Structure 1
Amino acid sequence: MDTTTSPYLAAADRAHVIAQIARDRFASHGIVRVLHDIARHLDAAADMLAKFQPSTIPGIAGHEAPMDAWEELFIVETLADDRPQTLFPPEITEYVKAPVMGRALPFPEPLNPVSARFAAEETKYRARLEQLHQDTARAADDPAGWLTDVCTVWRDWVSLREVVRVDNARPCNRR
């Protein structure tokens, strides 16, 4: 897909790539169903974004948001938020919106792990995500590979978030 001509086509391409990543994840049967729901809503958003025609009326044109596509992405965020076992962060939809909205890419909130080992892992994931965010050439030239790497880091970070939550709650680790 030629994404150089339209931010909407770039967003659609990203949504399709992330949908495929969701479909390719291994998980329990119940979580696989949620992942397939996430993929279905991402594909629906992608189709709407690919067909979207921004206004050509002066004063209206610009970073318009195709509301139906954004609603599909909101459903993705809700599904991911409700089921952290998918290891998809709700923020993943920001990667779809970024070409259209021009906003900064999402970054995870600090976990503040008590354990030095988990703090080192968090630092590693945050550094890798920052590196990926700065690699705009790869994001443009190889969006599928770039997003696969981005989703891998987010998956690992979400997994770490759950481990840190449990570890920080242990009586011996309470501050």
Structure 2
Amino acid sequence: MFQDDSTFKRNVKANVAIAAAITSYARIHMNRIKQLPTVIYSDTDSAITTQPLPDHLVGKELGMFKDELNGCLIQEIYILGIKQYGFWYLDKQGNRIEKSVWAGYTRDSISFEEIKEIYNGKKIVKVVDNRFFRSLEGLTITIKPVKLTLQFKPQKVLINNEYLAPTVGLDNNDPILKRLDLIINKLKEDITG
């Protein structure tokens, strides 16, 4: 069954405290970026913005943002949730480049048209070839394909940097609707200049 721990040689070269400190510092750094009015999506180490970031934030050094589109602009984007989005842009030669992210599925393997279909309510089934399953009971790892259903589930609404559960039967005095009106009006002002 289990061997005596004294027979194992431990050669771990990791420190949880250092990893936690680095992660915390990265979150502090990203929270400043998330507060910019031009940020429409952010993740652990990235942001999608409606305007270029200030030059002092972009570079190749550690802690700087990298312009992954090399100065090109996103033409159309759908953000369906956390780690669920797709967009396209034109590269410097005028070629259409599609990008997609879907948690649990291979990056850039969902077409932009599929992202739009998912947004419009279609469920798309994809197969993940190498999903790992571990058994603590048998101390085994099994690798097998699984079907993954991609669908739009707008369960959470992000308002004022706070996630709120969707509400049914809202009336005009509901604070969520009032806040949404403020956000929509602000977006209209930003778009029209």
TM-score by length of 2: 0.26
Larger Rg: 2
Task: Considering Cα pairs closer than 8 Å and 6+ residues apart, tell me whether 1 or 2 has the greater RCO.
Answer: 1
Structure 1 or 2: more strand by fraction: 2
Structure 1 or 2: more helix by fraction: 1
